Amino acid sequence: MTCFTARPSPFLLLLLLLLSLSLLSFSFSAKTSFIIPGGVDDREYKEVLPWKIEKRSMAEGDAAANTSLVLAKERTNRKDPLDHFNRYTGGWNISNKHYIASVVFTAVPFFVVAAVWFVLFGLMLSFICLCYCCCPREPYGYSRLAYALSLIFLIIFTIAAIVGCLILYIGQGKFHSSTSNTLGYVVNQADYTAENLRNVSDYLDAAKKIGVDAVFLPSDVQKNINDVQTKIRTAANELSNKTSDNSEKIQEGIDGMRLALIILAAVMLFLAFVGFLFSIFGLQCLVYSLVIAGWVLVAGTFILCGVFLFLHNAVADTCVAMDEWVQNPTAHTALDEILPCVDNATAQETLLRTRDVTHQLVVLVDKIISNVTNKNFPSSAGPLYYNQSGPLMPILCDPYNNDLTTRPCADGEVSLDDAAKVWNNYICEVSSSGICKTPGRMTPTIYGQMAAAVNISFALYHYGPFLVDLEDCTFVRQTFTDISHRHCPGLRKYSQWIYSGLVLVSAAVMLSLIFWVIYARERRHRVYTKQFISN
């Protein structure tokens, strides 16, 4: 059988190198616009990312209120394989299959690279194994230059593979931490909003039961409280459930990606190091076994590059979508699925009801003060008489006018936060029959009822700014602004680390496979040549 028993054909080696370098070049050049810079310099950000939008004024954002807004429209303008490869125009929407398909399509170049590598290198590997394993081994010379260069390149690509594995491992850890912190922040903000809404509902419920000296809130006010409570609970539950469900799905995907990257980094590091040692010690059969394993792993790594590019683009799209939504906070968008803004009508009605209840409770308390505690009734006045006497009590400050607009406290009025403490000086000691034995304007029972009314009024008044923020979506806008400014730079930076690590590992191991074969063969030739000369 005639075989190639001399040094490997220069044409064959050149073809292998050209194939490897062309694959590497293709992987770097394919869709380079998808790579997001790691830095946070705004100048660099705009130059590399032409899809970075200019911020619009709040007046323009308000003009778009209650309209449907397409988020990250320019950024997501990609070919959609589910729509005959037409351009996708629906904007950012993780629940839209066309959006998902358009993002997946950006990773196709990596899948093509993986297929080309797997097929062509597999054919070449079969050819090499057939010639080197089946042909008779005869003594022949070797090239010192080829031996030295193959050893040098083997060392270089092994070091590159190790560096790539380290970058990949560190990057995935930081990316996972950054992503988890972002999700945690979103969930905490949603839980905080829902908890505050439930607190408002609880205080409104308590207000219905408040009575001072057998005087309660008007029936129409209590009916309004019942109506708004249902809406509040529905909004709070919807907010918590949507945010929790979406964050769990995203976290599961991120955890799975992290595990895959860790396993890949460990396997590739082991493969590069062990392959280098086997080549150095001339264990050619083991080298060929590792080459076969590496051939499959490199193809898998390129596929994983594509999968991660999908995640990478989805994260970048989300950051842009948040940035645009901040300028149009009341428009209906796909971001409502992640952290929905509470319905404007519900927030507005809740704000009016809390103000109305606060106002009504203050009016109720002030009537008791003016008509009961600050009056000196004769003993024949019945239940209104309990021997009240002494200095007159200050009335409670009503923070709202009759039209529920805010008002400042007048002289002689006591504020909601100080009322209980000030009124404590007007309590008298009572006998067993409930009559004051010492000077004072209130019995302990009446004081307890009035203090409870004040506490609820203060609590509802305290939640006023929070409800205002919900009404105009300031709270959600601030949440997305924090994510865009604090979390997105880290997500961009560390996702680029992973992307760079994957490409470096894929290329380094791919080229290492070739030089394992070349060096192992040159080393064998060198041993045979020395043995032949010595004999």
* 467 in any annotated domain: yes
Rounded Cα gap, residues 466 and 472, in angstroms: 10
β-pair partners for 332:
68
Would you state the pLDDT for residue 35?
Answer: 31
List alpha helices for 33-143, DSSP H. 42-48, 58-63, 97-105, 108-134
- Same domain as 365, residue 331: no
- Same domain as 259, residue 158: yes
DSSP reduced 3-state for 411: coil
- Same domain as 519, residue 494: yes
β-pair partners for 86:
80
- Same domain as 459, residue 385: yes
Would you state the pLDDT for residue 301?
Answer: 85
- Same domain as 387, residue 264: no
Domain final residue, candidates 449, 471, 493: 471
* 164 in any annotated domain: yes
- Same domain as 354, residue 218: no
Helix-then-strand count for the chain, H and E: 14, 4
Would you state the pLDDT for residue 337?
Answer: 61
Q: Which of 153, 140, 27 is nearest to 517 (CA)?
A: 153
Would you state the pLDDT for residue 492?
Answer: 78
* 515 in any annotated domain: yes
- Same domain as 527, residue 440: no
- Same domain as 208, residue 313: yes
Would you state the pLDDT for residue 145?
Answer: 77
Give 475: exposed, middle or buried? Use CB within 10 Å, 0-12, 13-18, 19+.
buried
Give 483: exposed, middle or buried? Use CB within 10 Å, 0-12, 13-18, 19+.
buried
Would you state the pLDDT for residue 32?
Answer: 33
What digits encode the pLDDT tens for the residues 295-329?
888 888 888 888 878 877 887 888 888 888 777 76
pLDDT tens series, the chain, 535 aa: 333 333 333 333 333 333 333 333 333 333 333 332 333 333 332 322 222 223 333 334 443 444 567 888 888 889 999 988 999 988 888 778 899 899 989 888 888 888 888 888 777 766 765 665 555 555 455 567 777 887 888 889 889 988 988 988 898 889 888 888 888 888 888 888 888 888 888 888 888 877 776 667 777 777 777 877 777 788 788 778 877 787 888 788 788 878 888 888 888 888 888 888 888 777 777 777 788 888 888 888 888 888 878 877 887 888 888 888 777 765 667 776 655 565 667 777 878 888 988 998 999 999 999 999 999 888 888 888 999 999 999 999 999 999 989 999 999 999 998 999 999 999 999 998 889 999 999 999 999 888 888 988 888 888 877 777 776 667 777 777 888 888 888 887 888 888 788 888 888 888 888 788 777 777 766 666 666 555 5
Would you state the pLDDT for residue 515?
Answer: 81
Q: What are phi and psi of 330, to 5 degrees?
A: -100, 0
Would you state the pLDDT for residue 52?
Answer: 29
E strand or H helix that includes residue 46: helix 42-48
What digits encode the pLDDT tens for the residues 179-217?
888 888 888 888 888 888 888 888 888 888 777 766 677
* 477 in any annotated domain: no
| Contact between residue 186 and residue 247 where contact means Cβ atoms under 8 Å apart | yes
CA distances from 357 to 171, 207, 239, 404 (A): 54, 7, 25, 10
Q: Which of 157, 20, 500, 489 is nearest to 305 (CA)?
A: 500
- Same domain as 324, residue 420: no
E strand or H helix that includes residue 86: strand 86-87
- Same domain as 327, residue 357: no
| Contact between residue 129 and residue 121 where contact means Cβ atoms under 8 Å apart | no
Would you state the pLDDT for residue 141?
Answer: 53
* Lookup result for tokens 């519900």: 346
| Contact between residue 396 and residue 369 where contact means Cβ atoms under 8 Å apart | yes
* 525 in any annotated domain: yes
Rounded Cα gap, residues 120 and 296, in angstroms: 12
- Same domain as 198, residue 51: yes
Would you state the pLDDT for residue 525?
Answer: 66
Domain final residue, candidates 422, 447, 471: 471
Rounded Cα gap, residues 396 and 265, in angstroms: 68
Q: Which of 342, 362, 376, 369 is nearest to 471 (CA)?
A: 342
* 3 in any annotated domain: no
Would you state the pLDDT for residue 185?
Answer: 85
Please give the structure tokens belonging to residue 509: 């191991």
* 207 in any annotated domain: yes
Would you state the pLDDT for residue 20?
Answer: 36
Give 93: exposed, middle or buried? Use CB within 10 Å, 0-12, 13-18, 19+.
buried
Percent of the chain, pLDDT > 70? 77
Rounded Cα gap, residues 184 and 160, in angstroms: 35
Domain final residue, candidates 471, 492, 516: 471
Rounded Cα gap, residues 313 and 190, in angstroms: 25
Structural domains in the chain (count): 2
- Same domain as 235, residue 352: no
Please give the structure tokens belonging to residue 364: 């109720």
Residue 413: which domain range?
345-471
* 5 in any annotated domain: no
